[in-house]
Amino acid sequence: MDITNLQSDMDYLFNCNFFDDSFDPEDHEDHQDFADKVLQSYSWDEIYGYFFRHLTQDCTTAESVYNTTNLYFVYCFDKNPVPNPYELVGYVLFRIDLDKYWDEYGDFIDSFAVSVLESSKKVSLMTDPYYAPWEDPKVIKQMEKWKKQLQNNESD
């Protein structure tokens, strides 16, 4: 697939189901190869901007957030620092209530959150090997912000 424009290229990457049998990142490297092209063709700010908008506007269920964060991880986007790591992790943890979904999503979401915060140099498992993002006051503050913001949007 050729690069066309940011919107359609990112839609191709993120509008698929990571858990669908037809999407196998280990056997079919089409998406991974295309993600590499995207990283070479656009700035990280553009790529991340699309991802963050897609995640926070289109992914409103635990399952859709889990799908999108898995894709982000598979495409190795987590290697890049994000401008708002606590806001991102707060949104993910707000949408995926780990008290409810730990068995299905907990280990991955923990890895995702730590990876985002480490790549942004906000935490280090070397200095804090027992770090738990859901206990971090900065993450909790962002989770509460998302909850309040989305409740206000629903009451409008």
Does 27 have pLDDT greater than 60? no
Does 82 have pLDDT greater than 90? yes
Residues 6+ apart with CB under 8 A from 122: 85, 86, 138
Question: Over the chain, what is the mean pLDDT?
Answer: 90
Q: What separation, in Å, do the N-terminal and C-terminal C-alpha atoms of the chain show? A: 42
Give the mean model confidence (pLDDT) for residues 80-109.
94
Please report the pLDDT score of residue 151 as a whole number.
82
The pTM of this model reads: 0.90
Please report the pLDDT score of residue 156 as a whole number.
59
Does 133 have pLDDT greater than 80? yes
How many of the other CB atoms lie within 10 Å of CB of 141? 13
Does 25 have pLDDT greater than 90? no
Does 20 have pLDDT greater than 90? no
d(CA 138, CA 154): 25
d(CA 62, CA 67): 9
d(CA 61, CA 95): 6
- pLDDT bin (cut points 50, 70, 90) of residue 26 is low
Give the mean model confidence (pLDDT) for residues 105-112.
93
The answer for 5, left when phi > 0, alpha when psi is -120 to 50, beta otherwise, is beta
Give the mean model confidence (pLDDT) for residues 4-24.
85
Q: Tell which wins on pLDDT, 16 or 65.
A: 65
- pLDDT bin (cut points 50, 70, 90) of residue 19 is confident
Give the mean model confidence (pLDDT) for residues 65-92.
93
Please report the pLDDT score of residue 85 as a whole number.
96
